Structure 1
Amino acid sequence: MNRTWWLALQITKRLWFRATLFAIMAVVTAVVGIAVGPYIPDRLSDLIGAKAVDAILTILASSMLAVTTFSLSTLVSATTAAASSGTPRAVSLILEDGTAQTALSTFLGAFLFSLVGLIALNAGLYGGGGRLVLFAATLAVVLLIVTMLLRWIDHLAGLGNVGETIRRAAEKAADGMALNSERPALGGRVLDGVPQDAVPLYHDQVGYIRHLDMGRLQRLAEGLEAKLHVTQRPGDFCSLARPVLYVEAAAGFGDDPEATRAALGNAFTVGDSRSYDQDPLLGLTVLSEVASRALSPGINDPGTAIDVVTQVTRLLSRTAMPADAASKKEGDVAEPEYPRVFVRTIDPATFVDVAFLAISRDGAGLIEVVLAVQTALDALAASSDPALSGAALAMAETACKRGLATLAFEDDRRRLEAVRLSSDLRQSMG
């Protein structure tokens, strides 16, 4: 996806975008009755009393304003609960919730529809046929409101609680990791190393890389007859201390080096926060932060941390490659979509560190959490992917040392050593 489409997609995810669309549709629907009214036969228009539509629209206008205000306050409370019980990085998951956005948009649209309808009625803009059209539209709006209210009431049961936050973060992590499994180099070639004669390019903004326009880089590389070696991928922190890419070209940056450097830099969208779209580590980071918050002394909820351990284990297990494909790289299987762009891939050890490092640290003093982490890493160590298996074994050793150094009760220490011993025995037999 190019940068323009990606920015447009970010706009569609904003709460105000859907509400604006529904509001415009509501106003247009109310105005349509004025234009269509003259074409309605008089014998049909006489079926609707003069005051019938007025009364219904008055009820809608007064009630929908209250419902919209209540729903908005509920959404704010849900985001506050998600930030306090989970992590502030989970707030975007609540604000981008489709059901919540549709509910608010429906209620706001219904309010504007009734308000515009009342204004037009009192101004005498509707004839008999117009009132008939408005009445039919009002019935459709009422049916839509009732349906949306039922969905919204059912949805409120889980909005903002920690279980729902874990589920949403796990879904985002699963999508990102599935994309990373299919396209580890984002459609380019896998970066094995940077040539000695490659020229570094630094980005002039400081922040997180939110999106990488691979198509633009490919076009620029073709124009320069160059190869681009991307060392900073979405999710990485961008600063003047590290180059975002290296340019390998005999002619350098072409006839206009400054313009070329600016065009290359524009392929990187930098912002103050990370994005889920091309960053498979962000979902795991959010899950890990939820577990760390649950293990804090103020909350002391090891059960939530164990739930997170289960989720990240399931997610990492899905990314394991079959044994016959474990050593294959994206460029070895088929011609990549962007052959002139080489992108640094994510080491499996990074996935394991992001998922388990904070949990093993904050839960080192709780035997139930320590044992859950050991069990999870033992399962990942049995993976057919050698890199993932090795990373899991290394993390299991680290988590075991943390537990032995923190657990004060001798019986807990013996339990941990027994689990570690049985795991080592299975690994040696395997």
Structure 2
Amino acid sequence: MRRRTSRPSRVRDAVTGALWPLPAAAVVLAVVLGGALPLLDEALQASGEEPLAYVFEGGPSAARGILSTIAGSVISVTTLLFSLTIVTLQLASSQYSPRLLQTFVRDRIVQVCLGVLLGTFVYALVVLRSVRSAGDSDGGSAFVPRLSVTAGFVLALASVAALVTFLAHQTRQLRVETMMGDVSTEATATITRLGTQLASDDSPDEPLSDVPASAWPVCARRSGFLVRTAEEPLVAELSRRGAVLRLDRRPGDSVVAGTPLAWAWVDDDGVAPLPVEELATALERYVELSVERSAAADPSYGLRKLVDIAARALSPGINDPTTAVHALSHVSALMAQLSLRDTWHRRVSGDDGVPRLLLPSWDHAALLDLSVTQVRSYGRQDTTVVERLFALLAEVGWQARTEPQRQAVRTQCAALTAQSLEDVPAGRTAEDVRRMADAVERALTGRWEPLRT
């Protein structure tokens, strides 16, 4: 199965991953509406008919006063909300993980609330220009855009609702349980999407073929984190030249300019190989790099965020093992989904059926190591964290499908057992540690036993 990462999808990701697009669209809409409604007002008043009921009926001074009050109060509230947003981002970055900032920036409720407030402010200013008193500089008659002022009043009420919604939402978002739930939801969506793309692979649980000795390196021209690859155009280029290309980095890995990003070789000695410079140009065009990681094609990114939260919670400055235990519960749930496959590699074939593009990704053992090792190191002294790590391994072992997955669980369990026996957690004995390790082994053989000591 092929999937092309087109330019529109990159633009869409850039827009959805930033805070400003929706508020900016609201401002543009407010300018258009603030210019169009007074014209409609003027046309209705010029016809001598009053088809609208329940609209503003005051004079120019009252209209200016209302619009000025709306603009002044709304911009003050908007400043407050921006300040609260910045405080929230700082708190999430310092106490939990800087990678959580992406979740806050993509928050649609925050974007909508800021858009309503900024749009109301701009609308009030634009409409204010059209209010005229008798004897103004142009010598014309007085004009009050009644429909426009009424719409401004409605937008002011919407701004009050946006303020209340924003405060309620941010209060909920500041809870670490909410943050971890949002990360898990995003990671689940990524795993589901990748699983759908990989469903047609002929050998989903086999490692990629080795790089032959005749292959030549293709170096990166830019630095960044590998986000994803536009498969279809790159495969078309490789098929035309009879070449095979294997990336040297997984999604989420760091790429440094001037170092090998991929290896290329030809599958037919009679075909002229694609020049290295042309390959480097193709990689620059079709392999997306970014200054930060993305969940677009990276099954490990959600685990990385949750492990960061657990590690921060175990730091001496925060000392919150309960949060670390909750984070490990989310990690265990994600590992259960990731156990559906041994590997997440991609093999993309050309029209001739020959695999032309080999895309390495994460395997089960690496994902489990990411989930356990760092927390095991920082939480070795905390009884609840050690017990939760053993429970996580038992849960993953219970759902292991293949022998490589079971072996990965045994490797992590052996490391955790050795560490815990060397430095037994407070309130537990070496026998307790061995009992928990035995429970993990029984889970691997299909026998479930609670890990209570």
Normalised TM-score (structure 2) = 0.84
More displaced 10-residue stretch of structure 1: 284-293 or 265-274: 265-274
In structure 2, do the counterparts of structure 1 residues 318 and 128 end up closer, same or farther at CA, with 3 Å as the change threshold? Answer: farther
Please state how far the C-alpha of 1:72 moved relative to its aligned partner: 0.3
Looking at structure 2, the residues matched to 160 and 55 of structure 1 have their Cα atoms a distance apart, in angstroms, of: 38
Aligned counterpart, 2:183: 169
Looking at structure 2, the residues matched to 412 and 85 of structure 1 have their Cα atoms a distance apart, in angstroms, of: 33
Match status 1:368 vs 2:389: no
In structure 2, do the counterparts of structure 1 residues 128 and 2 end up closer, same or farther at CA, with 3 Å as the change threshold? Answer: farther
Please state how far the C-alpha of 1:330 moved relative to its aligned partner: 7.2
- Listed as ranges, the matches of 1:207-246 within 5 Å are 207-239=224-256, 243-246=260-263
Aligned counterpart, 1:26: 30
Looking at structure 2, the residues matched to 197 and 50 of structure 1 have their Cα atoms a distance apart, in angstroms, of: 85
Amino acid at match of 1:141: L
Match status 1:315 vs 2:324: no
Match status 1:290 vs 2:290: no
Match status 1:418 vs 2:435: yes
Please state how far the C-alpha of 1:222 moved relative to its aligned partner: 2.9
1:74-105 CA-partner distances (Å, limit 9, x unpaired): 00000111012101121222122111111112
Instruction: Select the residue among 252, 258, 273 that pairs with 2:273.
Output: 252
Please state how far the C-alpha of 1:410 moved relative to its aligned partner: 7.0
More displaced 10-residue stretch of structure 1: 27-36 or 266-275: 266-275
Looking at structure 2, the residues matched to 116 and 93 of structure 1 have their Cα atoms a distance apart, in angstroms, of: 34
Please state how far the C-alpha of 1:113 moved relative to its aligned partner: 0.8
Please state how far the C-alpha of 1:19 moved relative to its aligned partner: 1.6
SS of 2:316 mapped into structure 1? coil
Structure 2 portions without partners, runs of 5+? 448-453
Amino acid at match of 1:403: S
Aligned counterpart, 2:127: 117
Looking at structure 1, the residues matched to 70 and 13 of structure 2 have their Cα atoms a distance apart, in angstroms, of: 32
Looking at structure 2, the residues matched to 401 and 168 of structure 1 have their Cα atoms a distance apart, in angstroms, of: 34
SS of 1:280 mapped into structure 2? coil
Please state how far the C-alpha of 1:313 moved relative to its aligned partner: 0.5
Looking at structure 1, the residues matched to 439 and 431 of structure 2 have their Cα atoms a distance apart, in angstroms, of: 12
Amino acid at match of 1:24: V
- Listed as ranges, the matches of 1:328-367 within 5 Å are 340-367=356-383
Structure 1 portions without partners, runs of 5+? none
Please state how far the C-alpha of 1:143 moved relative to its aligned partner: 4.2
Please state how far the C-alpha of 1:188 moved relative to its aligned partner: 11
Looking at structure 2, the residues matched to 276 and 421 of structure 1 have their Cα atoms a distance apart, in angstroms, of: 36
Q: Is the 8 A contact 1:26 1:110 kept in 2?
A: yes
In structure 2, do the counterparts of structure 1 residues 189 and 200 end up closer, same or farther at CA, with 3 Å as the change threshold? Answer: farther
Please state how far the C-alpha of 1:359 moved relative to its aligned partner: 0.9
In structure 2, do the counterparts of structure 1 residues 22 and 102 end up closer, same or farther at CA, with 3 Å as the change threshold? Answer: same
Aligned counterpart, 1:11: 14
Looking at structure 1, the residues matched to 246 and 405 of structure 2 have their Cα atoms a distance apart, in angstroms, of: 25
SS of 2:131 mapped into structure 1? helix
Instruction: Select the residue among 111, 114, 131 that pairs with 1:101.
Output: 111
Match status 1:72 vs 2:82: yes
Looking at structure 2, the residues matched to 380 and 412 of structure 1 have their Cα atoms a distance apart, in angstroms, of: 24
More displaced 10-residue stretch of structure 1: 107-116 or 197-206: 197-206
Looking at structure 1, the residues matched to 313 and 328 of structure 2 have their Cα atoms a distance apart, in angstroms, of: 12
In structure 2, do the counterparts of structure 1 residues 44 and 294 end up closer, same or farther at CA, with 3 Å as the change threshold? Answer: same
Looking at structure 2, the residues matched to 55 and 24 of structure 1 have their Cα atoms a distance apart, in angstroms, of: 24
Instruction: Select the residue among 54, 65, 82 that pairs with 1:55.
Output: 65
1:256-293 CA-partner distances (Å, limit 9, x unpaired): x5344212232222233211212221111111011011
Q: Is the 8 A contact 1:221 1:227 kept in 2?
A: yes
Looking at structure 2, the residues matched to 204 and 331 of structure 1 have their Cα atoms a distance apart, in angstroms, of: 24
- Listed as ranges, the matches of 1:263-282 within 5 Å are 263-282=282-301
Q: Is the 8 A contact 1:158 1:164 kept in 2?
A: yes
Please state how far the C-alpha of 1:327 moved relative to its aligned partner: 10
Q: Is the 8 A contact 2:226 2:293 kept in 1?
A: yes
Q: Is the 8 A contact 2:201 2:347 kept in 1?
A: no
**Percent of aligned pairs sharing the same letter:** 21
SS of 1:217 mapped into structure 2? helix
Aligned counterpart, 2:222: 205
In structure 2, do the counterparts of structure 1 residues 244 and 137 end up closer, same or farther at CA, with 3 Å as the change threshold? Answer: same
SS of 2:93 mapped into structure 1? helix
Looking at structure 2, the residues matched to 200 and 274 of structure 1 have their Cα atoms a distance apart, in angstroms, of: 24
Aligned counterpart, 2:173: 159
Looking at structure 1, the residues matched to 258 and 202 of structure 2 have their Cα atoms a distance apart, in angstroms, of: 25
Looking at structure 1, the residues matched to 58 and 392 of structure 2 have their Cα atoms a distance apart, in angstroms, of: 69
Amino acid at match of 1:347: D
More displaced 10-residue stretch of structure 1: 45-54 or 84-93: 45-54
Normalised TM-score (structure 1) = 0.88
Q: Name segments (4+ residues, structure 1) moved above 6 Å.
A: 123-130, 185-190, 325-332, 335-338
Q: Is the 8 A contact 1:290 1:305 kept in 2?
A: yes
Looking at structure 1, the residues matched to 354 and 23 of structure 2 have their Cα atoms a distance apart, in angstroms, of: 38
1:147-201 CA-partner distances (Å, limit 9, x unpaired): 3233212202123342232222222222222233233599899733223333221
Please state how far the C-alpha of 1:135 moved relative to its aligned partner: 2.9
Q: Is the 8 A contact 1:212 1:233 kept in 2?
A: no
More displaced 10-residue stretch of structure 1: 364-373 or 184-193: 184-193
In structure 2, do the counterparts of structure 1 residues 423 and 92 end up closer, same or farther at CA, with 3 Å as the change threshold? Answer: closer
- Greater RCO between the two (CA within 8 Å, min separation 6)? 1
Looking at structure 1, the residues matched to 142 and 383 of structure 2 have their Cα atoms a distance apart, in angstroms, of: 76
In structure 2, do the counterparts of structure 1 residues 186 and 298 end up closer, same or farther at CA, with 3 Å as the change threshold? Answer: farther
1:2-36 CA-partner distances (Å, limit 9, x unpaired): 25224312431311222211111111110002332
Please state how far the C-alpha of 1:43 moved relative to its aligned partner: 3.2
SS of 2:250 mapped into structure 1? coil
Match status 1:196 vs 2:213: yes
In structure 2, do the counterparts of structure 1 residues 233 and 266 end up closer, same or farther at CA, with 3 Å as the change threshold? Answer: farther
Looking at structure 2, the residues matched to 70 and 180 of structure 1 have their Cα atoms a distance apart, in angstroms, of: 40
Higher helix share: 1
Amino acid at match of 2:115: S
Please state how far the C-alpha of 1:246 moved relative to its aligned partner: 2.1
In structure 2, do the counterparts of structure 1 residues 429 and 21 end up closer, same or farther at CA, with 3 Å as the change threshold? Answer: closer
